[in-house]
Chains A and B, each alone.
Chain A
Amino acid sequence: MMKENPSAGSPASKPRVGLFVTCLVDLFRPTVGFAAVKLLEDAGCVVEVPTAQSCCGQPAYNSGDRAAARALARQLIAAFEPFDYVVAPSGSCGGMIKHHYPHLFDDDPAWQARAERLSAKTFELVSFLTDVLGVEQVEARYTGVVTYHDSCSGLRELRIKHQPRRLLASVEGLSLREMEEAEVCCGFGGTFCVKYPELSNRMVGEKAARIVASGADTLLAGDMGCLLNMAGKLQREGATVRVRHVAEVLAGMTDVPAIGEPG
């Protein structure tokens, strides 16, 4: 499927990727996990999914429970250390491992060293495909006008901006129409959306209005949390915009109903 495939040489040279599925993809949207596997395999990777994984620990970390966050980080580090790369279909979880894990162990040099080694080989899915593997296009079809929401962690912690847009440009039948303020938070914020529901609602309400105003028929983003939030709001307001994770479109796996759609 991939036209550019620099790593697809002999099987021995294939990079071994541990897929960190993320808790939201695991529970809500397995299709995204399979899309990730497909994209990675098409790009010449050997993909494995360690069973000893659950959550990266971000909810605990951002709630001030450092002990629980550390316990979850140690679990993930141990499970993923053997791989050449760790890839997650989420900028938020990817950012947690890449930027925050080393800080979790500021007073524990041995674990900090392990966290730093893991950090160096951890990537968000789309930036891994483009920035690390050099993938420049995909062979997929999607008929529609899409708009892309830049999820905060991916954008500001991992600098993911042009990578998904570049790959989307190679999808046949797809055109991209930017919404206004694509870089402004959708109001999800993990536990924020239940701790401050009224504020969160205001933010996602404004986001939904921007999405509808763009005139796109499909909303894409790279993080399930944001996607569930925006899909839930759009649907509550009766908007007809379909919502999908960007990996689904890039992998050509759009035959399943969109997020929150009947089926």
Chain B
Amino acid sequence: MHPTSQTFKANASAALHDAALQRALKNLKSGFPGKRAAAIAKLPEFDALRDAGRDLKNHVLEHLDFYLERFEAQVTAQGGQVHWARDAAEANRIVLDICRAVEARTVTKGKSMVSEEIGLNDFLAANGIEPIETDLGEYIIQLRHEHPSHIIAPAIHLNRDQVADAFHAHHGQYGFTERNENPRALMSEARQVLRQRFLNADVGITGANFCVAETGTTVIVTNEGNGDLTQILPRVHIVLASIEKIAPTLEDVSTFLRLLSRSATGQEITVYTTFSSGPRRPEDVDGPEQFHVVLLDNGRSGMLGGEFQDMLRCIRCSACLNHCPVYGAIGGHAYGWVYPGPMGSVLTPQLIGVDIAGALPNASTFCGRCEDVCPMRIPLPAMMRHWREREFERHLSPAGFRFGLRAWAFFAQRPKLYQSVTRIAARVLRWLGGRNGRIKSLPLAHGWTAWRDLPTPQGQTFQQQWAARQEKRS
């Protein structure tokens, strides 16, 4: 996926003026946060679970090599195969080779952000294999040639009428000639179209929420059941997972699951929690003939041992997106790459470069809601600040801004000089405001006064008045 994070500011501006998007975003704000709060209110030990989840993942990251090898051994022991992919190109090549070996023409896909990260759909299509998204949201945006705008609700930027339009434009060939806006009817239409595609697919590709080292099991959580049909019906099941998805044991998975579903959708548990352990055994009634797991690094091992390691604890619940006032104002596409919101603002610079994605960690007020709701207690604002430090060190921040900051810091480090400057500033601003008590327009502060008045200082600075008062007292 070609990133557009460089033009974040313009993307954000366009998003703010996109009436349909703004309408859709209202649903997000009124939905997820309330459901999460209600679910957590019913679980008094939620904060203790967060501590446990954090500690568990920290332990995994300290011993990631051990657990990954253990996972591979267990997958192999069950007749499956693990493939190691250093980057997106390697991962795509591995998937293509597996597909070609079975002469696959169509591939069904469960929801997978890693597949977005490596740009798998475009790669497969370019190589003559048709990828079919089966998660309803993913299916809708595939019809519209879009990318997900949210990591668990990929089509959250759309309204019902836009879905109806997309179906109406594409489903005529399957006999659905009437435009329908009823949600139930739309769902049934998608189900009927997808059914035949499930049955015809040669390969099914899913992501993994967890890879269990103890048993060589991969786990997905879904609400639609499409994941199960994707991985059970075709002859070959390929799991795409990034290396940090390890959970040591099944018991540990249950800790993560309790955190994940509540933080994501406010559910106590998702409708489907599917465990996949190797290909079909002789005694099994169904399942794939081949079971492959592609483990993707793509820059993650470089985060180990550094200031961004904590980010690898992320379990992709989307709570940080759902509670972020910036995400809530502009949606996910403005961020310009695969992962939006606070988690994306930390991860994207690592995965595609801070010179491309540097605007993202700056687009935060550091209001701290993301860290407050993160089930894995990831210090997201602190890590966005680390990116700003990298940018500052590398002189990537704008020259004018750096100059202003330097000038201000020069004075601030000289309190006497600083106070004489502020005395003058207070008087000048006061004078500019006249009798109104506020300034309507100030050329140097256009970013402020374009939309707000600037209240003027009361007159003398506090230090000035305090000095006078002390003199009077003595």
Contact = CB atoms under 8 A, between A and B. Distances in A.
B367 A229 contact: no
B373 to A, nearest CB: 10
A235 B438 contact: yes
Interface stretch (A28-36, A114-122, A134-142, A171-179): A28-36
A64 B367 contact: no
A100 B459 CA distance: 32
A26 interface: yes
Interface string B249-291: 0000000000000000000000000000000000000000000
B15 to A, nearest CB: 10
A3 B365 CA distance: 39
B362 interface: yes
Interface residues of B, number: 68
Interface string B362-381: 11111111011000000000
A29 to B, nearest CB: 6
A72 B463 contact: no
A235 B388 CA distance: 33
Contacts of A190: 365-366
Contacts, number: 202
B385 A236 contact: no
Contacts of B453: 231-233, 235-236, 260
Interface string B461-474: 11101110000000
Contacts of B382: 103
Contact of A195 (B362, B372, B465): B362
A183 B368 CA distance: 11
**Chain A interface: which size bin?**
35 or more
A10 interface: no
**Majority DSSP secondary structure for residues of A touching B:** helix
B412 A57 contact: yes
Contact of B462 (A33, A189, A233): A33
B412 A63 contact: no
Nearest to A55: B412
A63 B388 contact: yes
Given A26-B461, A187-B365, A65 B409 contact: yes
B397 A156 contact: no
Among A29, A201, A260: residue with most chain B CB under 10 A: A260
Contacts of A64: 385, 387-393, 397
Given A60-B405, A203-B325, A28 B455 contact: yes
A30 B437 CA distance: 15
A20 B13 CA distance: 38
Count chain A CB atoms within 10 A of each CB in B406, B454, B456 and give the residue with the most.
B454
A118 to B, nearest CB: 17
Nearest to A153: B368
Contacts of B389: 64, 66
Interface stretch (A46-54, A124-132, A160-168, A215-223): A46-54
Interface stretch (B68-76, B113-121, B344-352, B414-422): B414-422
Which has the most chain B C-beta neighbours within 10 Å: A23, A28, A71, A204? A28
Given A196-B363, A232-B448, A262 B409 contact: no
Contacts of B456: 28, 260
B462 A26 contact: yes
Contacts of B388: 62-64
Contacts of A34: 462, 465
A31 B465 CA distance: 10
B363 A199 contact: yes
Nearest to A205: B451
B325 A184 contact: yes
Closest 8 CB pairs of A and B: A189-B365, A260-B455, A64-B392, A232-B452, A64-B388, A185-B367, A197-B447, A30-B462
Interface of B: 9, 12-13, 16, 325-326, 329-330, 362-369, 371-372, 382, 385, 387-393, 397, 401, 405-406, 408-409, 411-413, 415-416, 418-419, 422, 425-426, 435-438, 445-448, 450-463, 465-467
5 contacts: A156-B367, A197-B450, A204-B451, A232-B448, A256-B458
Interface of A: 21, 23, 25-31, 33-34, 49, 51-55, 57, 59-66, 68, 71-72, 75, 103, 152-153, 156-157, 183-185, 187-205, 228-229, 231-233, 235-236, 256-257, 259-263
Given A194-B445, A260-B453, 12 more contacts: A25-B462, A28-B455, A29-B458, A63-B397, A64-B387, A71-B413, A75-B413, A156-B369, A199-B326, A199-B363, A203-B326, A262-B437
